[in-house]
Amino acid sequence: MAGTRVKARGESLFAERFAVFAEALLTGVWIAVASLGVVTYPAAFAAGARHLRRRIAHEGGGLRAFAADFRTALRRGWLVGLAGWAAAVAVWVDVQAARAGIPGGPLAGAVGVVALIALVVAGLRAAAVWEPGARWRTLLAHAGRRTVLDPAGSFLLVGGLAVMPLSAWFATPLAIPVLGAVAAAAVAVEERYRHR
């Protein structure tokens, strides 16, 4: 039953951590499928992160719980996804203007790219702590603060995001399960920040 505590199976620490890693890779597939709606990626990451938090806490869950969380997160999460794409387009236009030789363009392009990376990190951090009933605006505001106040955690997430294109370059299908590893990294970064 979802939300109930599942008794630990007495497995070794290595086996338990490997099981969490395997669950993260499976969750990456779920996130990828749920993100096919283009603006659904924040809700998909939120549902994936919540699923991984349940798995780490040895609580029940699974695909049905992920789907229920995804539907709940999508109610307002699609607006966050739309805003994310708008920001990406704005940065793309900014970079194109910089490449065209506009005075001050390289600086503006660099600032735009750094701002977009910070927005992505804040979005991941917000998704990592999402719960049903949480307001995305509040989550993003608090995540933005944590992104600045916890630069080490933010850089860890940037590194996790860098693994995705590297995985795709190495073997394209690997980029899909790596989405779950990025969600797991966001959960870990938030847990680390909470226990500081």
Distance CA 51, CA 15 (A): 19
State the first-to-last Cα distance of the chain, in angstroms, to the nearest integer: 32
Q: Is 48 within 8 Å of 66 (Cβ atoms)?
A: yes
CA atoms within 13 Å, Cβ hemisphere of 192? 17
pLDDT at 164: 84
User: Per DSSP, what are the bridge partners of residue 59?
Assistant: 5
pLDDT at 30: 95
Distance CA 155, CA 174 (A): 22
| pLDDT single digits (tens) 144-181 | 999 999 999 999 999 989 988 888 888 888 888 889 99
Taking the model in full, what pTM does it have? 0.86
* The amino acid at 190: E
Please give the biggest Cα pair distance in the chain.
Answer: 64
pLDDT at 98: 81
Residue 32 structure tokens = 């990828």
pLDDT at 102: 82
| pLDDT single digits (tens) 94-148 | 888 888 888 877 888 888 889 999 999 999 999 999 999 999 999 999 999 999 9
Residue 60 structure tokens = 């029940």
Alpha carbon of residue 129 to chain centroid: 10
pLDDT at 110: 87
Distance CA 23, CA 84 (A): 27
| pLDDT single digits (tens) 3-37 | 444 445 566 777 777 888 888 899 999 999 999 98
Cα distances from 52 to residues 129, 166, 168, 175, in angstroms, run: 11, 23, 23, 18
CA-nearest of 146, 193, 186, 134 to 28 is: 186
pLDDT at 16: 76
Q: Residue length, the chain?
A: 196
Q: Is 68 within 8 Å of 102 (Cβ atoms)?
A: no
- How many other C-beta atoms are found inside a 10 Å radius of the C-beta of residue 73? 28
CA atoms within 13 Å, Cβ hemisphere of 70? 23
Q: Which residue has the higher pLDDT, 95 or 75?
A: 75
Residue 45 pLDDT more than 50? yes
pLDDT at 5: 45
